[in-house]
Amino acid sequence: MNLPNKLTIARVIMIPLFLICLYLNIGCGKYIAVGIFILASLTDLLDGKIARKYNLVTNFGKFMDPLADKLLVCSALIALVDLERIAAWIVIIIIAREFIISGFRLVASDNGVVIAASYWGKFKTAFQMITIIMLVLNLSVPFMNIINTVLIYISLGLTVISLIDYIAKNYKVFLEGSGK
């Protein structure tokens, strides 16, 4: 097993550790959770760069890397709904976007087409991760609620924009898959 795949597996293993620390009822639990989340997010950045740079791209990595990313972000967002730090309807939209994009990628893959991540998708992911970090920290400083609300809505907006961009650029793949 190569290094990028090990990093992907490490990210998946970090998810339950992140959640346990997030729910710990001790003062430093949220800080440990944020540290784990940041470390897991960095493995996402590193595994792809290493795989491409050293030609270590594998079918396992192609499958597990995006799955690990979705598991990390969705687990965090669902836990934050439970902790009442983000509205469920916002998380539903974010997760629905991930299902739609995964469906598009599946259809494209069946047609022998690889759809790369777009600028909007990368920007969306970065904002979602920043938002999650801020919501986990749940800082009690002036204006933090306003800052967190702004981050949430920017993340939501980028989620919708990236979905529209993705569909606009790739709708032909779906039409070709349906025989039209």
> What domains can you pick out in the chain, each with its CATH number?
3-177 (1.20.120.1760)
Q: What is the identity of the amino acid at 31?
A: Y
For residues 128-135, average pLDDT: 97
Q: What is the identity of the amino acid at 130?
A: I
Contact 129, 94 (CB under 8 A): no
Question: Could you tell me which of 12, 13, 36, 42 has the C-alpha nearest to residue 24?
Answer: 36
The yes-or-no verdict on residue 29 having pLDDT over 90 is yes
The yes-or-no verdict on residue 47 having pLDDT over 70 is yes
Angle value at C-alpha 139, between 135 and 144, nearest 5 degrees: 80
The yes-or-no verdict on residue 31 having pLDDT over 90 is yes
pLDDT digits (tens, 9 = 90+) for 141-174: 999 999 999 999 999 999 999 999 999 988 887 7
Q: How confident is the model at residue 178 (pLDDT cuts 50, 70, 90)?
A: low
Which is more confidently placed, 4 or 115?
4
The yes-or-no verdict on residue 87 having pLDDT over 90 is yes
Q: How confident is the model at residue 109 (pLDDT cuts 50, 70, 90)?
A: confident
Structure tokens at 130: 């920043």
Contact 166, 104 (CB under 8 A): yes
H helical segments located in 111-141: 119-137
Phi/psi for 139 (5° steps) reads -70, 140
The yes-or-no verdict on residue 86 having pLDDT over 60 is yes
